[in-house]
Structure 1
């Protein structure tokens, strides 16, 4: 009798496990899904649906569009319009309609049709989340640990309460949506908590944050390796932060070592093939934009590990576009004007190591680096074989000249006119500032995306380049 009871319990447990697995995965045979709408004041001829793949549709002159897609996964998708996105929940087979004004997209969008309740809540959720963003970024991320955790948990409680309030007024959510939005909130909070030590050290570079032994306990109740959760937007950000969080304490200060360790840790921390593919892709995409030299070290490993053909081809194409900026390649020349009006070229400094800062007076992150750049210049002021060049890409040349004089900025201060600005951005593949570049004494690229002056590795990088 006892053995029969055990068998019965095991059968029942297995049954519920299979049911829960089926419910969790929410996979369907490909089913036609229709999304139609009208976007007022649209300046884009195309709208895209992003999920596992990108599906594009034309927007006619009146702002109307129709997207017809064969979908096989339920979950969160997004509509992309110019530089704007709209989150929406879709179950394959849904018929969804929406109206919005592109000028106030997130505030004006209204959904009708299948799962309109859930999708209209997502509008409320995104707007609420925006209002809960830290007003003072520095103060928020440099709080003491207990105060920071309290602030994040209070924010999470508000987001969770909004779900309950909305359902009281509008009826219960789809069960699967309710599960996914709860996971979205949880992963979003986890990202903030994993960002805490990173941002603390960035904002307080002279301090080292020491976390309590129980700080990472928030990870215990989260699914770390879950292919199904790739349909939860925050999960995609979470897995990258988790990789960084777990790698941070087992690497040296050198960025290249950290990048290699992050790559190697993907297969140690995750088993799902699709999760690993996304991580390999996202990591290499990041490294391509921050350290082409490191990317060159990892490309063979990447092509071997990556099983998603689209991801593999995209990174390979991106790497090839950066190949002209690999270490040892001839540095593209430029001609810029100094404060006194004289023209200065890169080749004027052959024989010296050059540390270049591409910046602008209106760029907050650029200005935060200035004190550290001055400290760096002071450290090497006795050396005649190094030059510090700052190139402003300000449209307003007078604003640049005024700031240089008022701040008594050291080093070689140059301004790039519109034509030279575009040339430098194109030659050095600059998609954001500040951008730092190291050119060796022979006029060749040493590091086309060098560490910032505030970084811990910059002195090691410069010292190493000076010894060559």
Structure 2
């Protein structure tokens, strides 16, 4: 008989003292037979996301985690390279229980084995139904194929929710709401972020109205869901685009507001530090947990120096003729900095708008357009040729890759536009692009000062 050696990881989640009658850790074990996967991760819901809390190397496909979990909680097993909401084997458990999973082909396809609790049987069946209607990794399956199934799927989710029943009434209330909300979230995610077909505004509106009617986010239970933050972000983007009005969380539970605010920080969604401060005024009072407050303090420390009115961080690079030019050379003028590259499609898409803006402001003496290329040395000639062929105006500097300017201003994606005032202070380190009329308004306002 073959003996399996498990990779055992013991975890303490710090959820309170373990009662004497329930001091045996939750044991999560199983086998993953997914190609090219040699490490498995254990996830729990934190601040509205799946958070990877432990990993274990697979030994002949086997894994094992021992978890100190005094209260029933939703957990998941998945690959360590993916912290998204899909591709997870989802289950619930607490101290004194043993969970056995068999994961085959894809992570989302799994079966529970051994002595399985009724709620885990419901979760197993529900997740199988969820995968059937919303399959992972099928690029040919779009919202058009999904649309005829929506009503039946939502009805099915309610049927599964009614089956939830255990002695843990508090967790049961969460699990019922989780199943119904997961169905809406999954449809929303798939509907608005399809593989091969994009819905029009008119095609988005009915689903937005349905979600608005069924999900109020008025219970703190929503905040415990591992897709809560992404759900809020998707709704925010689509509500702004489709309905043309500001995303409103006034009626949401404080814990949900906290998740939303923390997620915007995590996803680097704030264009400026001032934008962060505006949301901090709205949602900061909703946050009381020490771990969440620590994340806010860390964000402030990291980004506060880039707030409006703070001194610019100087940089110096050669221009197209090899002369060294610094940002500080232009004190006394409003400076527009365009961080770009010849290989960047969106950057090139902004060139006509930038040239138009320069033309409209050419009578202004107190403004400078400074383009900083992050092309690498091997592409320097391409850079020079594009400046000439596109008849690009302004002053052009060559940074030779994501160098000091990217580190100083935390630039990880381009195009990036920044504006500095006549005193050499920051106006915005993530300003609107030239294609957005708001940039011209911003510049005209600074020129008046």
1:184 and 1:235 in contact (8 A); partners too: no
Q: Which residue of 1 aligns with 2:110?
A: 111
Q: Which residue of 2 aligns with 1:404?
A: 387
2:338 and 2:416 in contact (8 A); partners too: yes
Cα distance, 1:297–1:180 mapped onto 2, change above 3 Å: closer
1:351 Cα deviation from its structure 2 partner: 2.0
* C-alpha distance in structure 2 between counterparts of 1:90 and 1:215, whole Å: 28
* C-alpha distance in structure 2 between counterparts of 1:344 and 1:303, whole Å: 42
Q: Which residue of 1 aligns with 2:295?
A: 314
1:156 and 1:185 in contact (8 A); partners too: no
Say whether 1:377 aligns with 2:377: no
The within-5 A match list for 1:215-230 is: 217-219=209-211, 221-225=213-217, 226-230=219-223
* C-alpha distance in structure 2 between counterparts of 1:316 and 1:404, whole Å: 43
| SS of equivalent to 1:313 | helix
Say whether 1:364 aligns with 2:345: yes
Cα distance, 1:178–1:408 mapped onto 2, change above 3 Å: farther
1:153 Cα deviation from its structure 2 partner: 6.0
1:352 and 1:440 in contact (8 A); partners too: yes
* C-alpha distance in structure 2 between counterparts of 1:378 and 1:108, whole Å: 55
1:428 Cα deviation from its structure 2 partner: 0.5
* C-alpha distance in structure 2 between counterparts of 1:125 and 1:81, whole Å: 25
2:228 and 2:259 in contact (8 A); partners too: no
Q: Which residue of 2 aligns with 1:463?
A: 444
Say whether 1:157 aligns with 2:148: yes
What is the aligned counterpart of 1:415 among 368, 390, 398?
398
1:352 and 1:441 in contact (8 A); partners too: yes
* TM-score normalised by length of structure 2: 0.68
1:190 and 1:218 in contact (8 A); partners too: no
1:33 and 1:71 in contact (8 A); partners too: no
1:98 and 1:109 in contact (8 A); partners too: no
Q: 335-344 vs 318-327, which deviates more?
A: 335-344
Q: Which residue of 2 aligns with 1:131?
A: 139
Q: Which residue of 2 aligns with 1:50?
A: 44
1:41 Cα deviation from its structure 2 partner: 4.7
1:77 and 1:231 in contact (8 A); partners too: no
Say whether 1:186 aligns with 2:168: no
Q: Which residue of 1 aligns with 2:5?
A: none
Say whether 1:237 aligns with 2:230: yes
**Per-residue deviation, residues 379-414 of structure 1 (Å, max 9, x unmatched):** 212222111222222335244344333333332233
| SS of equivalent to 2:214 | coil
1:50 and 1:80 in contact (8 A); partners too: no
1:285 and 1:315 in contact (8 A); partners too: no
1:329 Cα deviation from its structure 2 partner: 1.9
Q: Which has the higher helix share?
A: 1
* C-alpha distance in structure 1 between counterparts of 2:177 and 2:276, whole Å: 38
Q: Which residue of 1 aligns with 2:92?
A: 91
* C-alpha distance in structure 2 between counterparts of 1:298 and 1:359, whole Å: 29
Mark the runs of 5 or more structure 2 residues left unpaired by the alignment. 1-21, 114-120, 165-174
Cα distance, 1:64–1:154 mapped onto 2, change above 3 Å: closer
Cα distance, 1:41–1:161 mapped onto 2, change above 3 Å: same
Q: Which residue of 2 aligns with 1:439?
A: 420
Q: Which residue of 2 aligns with 1:32?
A: 26
**Per-residue deviation, residues 142-177 of structure 1 (Å, max 9, x unmatched):** xxxxxxxxxx46433357889999xxxxxx999558
Relative contact order, higher structure (CA 8 A, sep 6+): 2
* C-alpha distance in structure 2 between counterparts of 1:212 and 1:282, whole Å: 23
Cα distance, 1:218–1:456 mapped onto 2, change above 3 Å: farther
Cα distance, 1:311–1:108 mapped onto 2, change above 3 Å: closer
Q: Which residue of 1 aligns with 2:4?
A: none
| SS of equivalent to 1:318 | helix
**Per-residue deviation, residues 324-350 of structure 1 (Å, max 9, x unmatched):** 212222211222233333332212222
2:41 and 2:53 in contact (8 A); partners too: yes
Say whether 1:68 aligns with 2:66: yes
Cα distance, 1:174–1:251 mapped onto 2, change above 3 Å: closer
| SS of equivalent to 2:417 | strand
* TM-score normalised by length of structure 1: 0.66
1:438 Cα deviation from its structure 2 partner: 0.8
Q: Which residue of 2 aligns with 1:269?
A: 251
**Per-residue deviation, residues 57-78 of structure 1 (Å, max 9, x unmatched):** 2433858643333274565746
Q: Which residue of 1 aligns with 2:17?
A: none
1:94 Cα deviation from its structure 2 partner: 5.9
**Per-residue deviation, residues 281-332 of structure 1 (Å, max 9, x unmatched):** 2345567741102323554664433223322220221111112212222211
Q: Which residue of 1 aligns with 2:117?
A: none
Task: Give the aligned length.
Answer: 388
Cα distance, 1:90–1:368 mapped onto 2, change above 3 Å: farther
1:49 Cα deviation from its structure 2 partner: 1.0
Cα distance, 1:80–1:224 mapped onto 2, change above 3 Å: farther
